[in-house]
Structure 1
């Protein structure tokens, strides 16, 4: 097989583990050579050793900065011309804008953009129009667009973000699949004296944390042996109100762990998983929870709507505290459904989202 050179472009190194992760090892064994362009950080270099890629530090700011952005596009353009990549893959709106423009100008034969979500869904006014037009520019420059869920693809088509013929979907959705050997049910981690409802993700408004904490106050009036386990960092760009934070830090029935490098064992402490998000691309955390044999409560929004089988692996809630209360209450009142939906969820992930299945699709749809 002819060796192929692949360049991934991300704005922050933190996302590499989730967007690419074990793909690096899988494809390196097949003869692929990987480079990664990303804003410089100590973590970036550590990850380059862990995953075996060649790091190329370049400033990719999350905010719009015309002078710096043009400089970064030119820097990447020169790097692409020098290295002669076969494939360039860009992630996130800003990484996509910088990366796809540079790859288009450098005439890279295959230019792939991963549309991980639709940031404009929760903004309004001129900013919304700007973000939509950035997506359209990226779509023009790319040869292939991977929408990470069917619902993201549906919105993309409705808004004409790119020519439909460029669209790709990996399996039933996802960008990277799930490591089913890492995320799996394990005995001995649960506290059997309480029912633990868990959340994994950024503590932000977009993730529905205000609704979740308001729901929690209602649940605690009715149920005494319950606990809320929150895993994830506080989001400085979309901060929670102080009253919500005070409740999280001060309520003895809430355990806030913060950000962790490996979430797999924390799922094993939960009985029910909740993601009350207002927007997602495709929520990997719900698949991780399902792989860990947990029933899911999530919302009918873009991305989330594709991550469960209704009344089989989980149930939906509206984006309100009272609806979320009713959905969680259903599981608390029907413990047999907790077990059944958890078992079904594990099978759902094994059948459709395991890494090996998704990596074969990536090779067939993007690397050929």
Structure 2
């Protein structure tokens, strides 16, 4: 039997690897046909070759641009009508707005929006009001809304972003599962003489990097044999203060790697993983770190709160330098507990977030409708 014809809509091609990734291979093998609408780029071309989907380049700007957005909605509407998709799946606020409006006007029978996070949580004033109402418009146009974590679902209900009957949760959360073959503990990468604390993600205010660097100043004064490993690009849309960037450059105990194509081996260099974020949808990096056998220090905010079991796979810190200092220090001083929490994390991810499990959930709850 021929599988369904599916269109994914994203604003930037970079996110495809994380939002969909190996799902393309898995469902292609079951007869599904995938197309992707996204702003054109060389990376988009390369990903189409790697994952085997058909491309439809259309400008999807991350900023609000009414004239261009209307043009993109119409262009996408025409493409959807021509190709007669069974399912349109849109990601992120802007991809969701363009994708769900076009699919709604084209009367696609199954329209799915992945709510990967709540951007408005860290903004105020009119912009917050506007972003909330964009979410409500997307929620109206979609048949199903996949909230990527239980805490996202809770806030969605509190703010009436869509009717509750549309809400879908894949297992305990996440959007794409974790590759438990790629993210595993590996011997030979750690320096036994140095305790390495690691972070993976965008270096931005929202990720709590300012507080992390302040905490690190205290930790590096107290301990001689520790290192902070930062993996990820500096975020220009949410820039760090100059003083924080200077600390990252000048502190000899901080190693900044920058953006990398594959983070798996970097987790294997770490002894503790920290994500001091102010907001998340569901932090994939925390699950990757747990799958790699690392104890986690993270914050009790949307998304992050669902990504560990407190005192079993990790510890919660407040969004302050003092609290981050105390939680990281606990793991440095209690290496046996750190090791135990890391081992518990491996099983936590395998039981609840493996790709095979999440892909079964995707097919059952979204594609089989």
TM bin, normalised by shorter chain, reads over 0.9
1:147-186, aligned counterparts within 5 Å? 147-186=147-186
2:210 alignment partner, SS class: helix
2:17 is the alignment partner of 1:17: yes
For structure 1, list consecutive stretches of 5 or more residues without a partner in the other structure.
none
Aligned pairs for 1:246-261 within 5 A: 246-261=246-261
Provide Cα deviations, 1:12-64, integer angstroms capped at 9, x if missing partner: 00000000000000000000000000000000000000000001000000000
3-state DSSP of counterpart to 2:359: helix
- Distance in 1 between the 2:289 and 2:343 partners? 11
Q: Give CA-to-partner distance per residue, 1:149-201, whole Å, 9 cap, x none.
A: 00000000000000000000001000000000000000000011100000000
Deviation at 1:2, TM superposition (A): 3.3
Q: Distance in 1 between matches of 2:2 and 2:271?
A: 48
- Matched residue pairs, number? 368
**Structure 1 residue 206: Cα displacement:** 0.1
Question: Which residue does the alignment assign to 2:111?
Answer: 111
Partner Cα distance (1:240, 1:213) in 2: 11
Task: State the TM-score, normalized to the length of structure 1.
Answer: 1.00
User: For residue 296 of structure 1, what is the aligned residue in structure 2?
Assistant: 296
Alignment of 1:315-334 (within 5 A): 315-334=315-334
Give the distance between the partners of 2:37 and 2:135, measured in 1 at CA: 20
What is residue 314 of structure 1 aligned with on the other side? 314
Which residue matches 1:245?
Answer: 245
Distance 1:55 1:285 in 2: 28
Deviation of 1:221 (Å): 1.6
Deviation of 1:265 after TM superposition, in Å, equals 0.2
Instruction: Return the alpha-carbon distance in structure 2 between the equivalents of residues 220 and 6 of structure 1.
Output: 51
TM-score, with structure 2 as normaliser: 0.99
The residue aligned with 1:191 is 191
The match for 1:39 is: 39
Distance between the aligned counterparts of 2:82 and 2:316, measured in 1? Answer: 50
Quote the Cα distance in structure 1 between the aligned partners of 2:220 and 2:66: 50
Q: Which residue number corresponds to residue 282 of structure 1?
A: 282
Once the 2 structures are TM-superposed, how far is the Cα of residue 3 of structure 1 from its aligned partner? 2.1
User: C-alpha offsets along residues 190-245 of structure 1, whole Å, 9 cap, x if unaligned?
Assistant: 01110000000000000000000000001112111100000000000000000000
Off by >6 Å, runs of 4+ in structure 1? none
CA distance in 2: counterparts of 1:249 and 1:176, whole angstroms: 34
2:188 is equivalent to residue 202 of structure 1? no
| Alpha-carbon distance in 1 for matches of 2:325, 2:228 | 13
Determine the structure 1 residue equivalent to 2:61: 61
Gaps in structure 2 of 5+ consecutive residues: none
**Aligned partners of 2:324, 2:132: CA distance in 1, in Å?**
30
Q: Secondary structure at the match of 2:171?
A: coil
Deviations 1:296-333 (CA, angstroms, capped at 9, x unpaired): 00000000000000000000000000011111011011
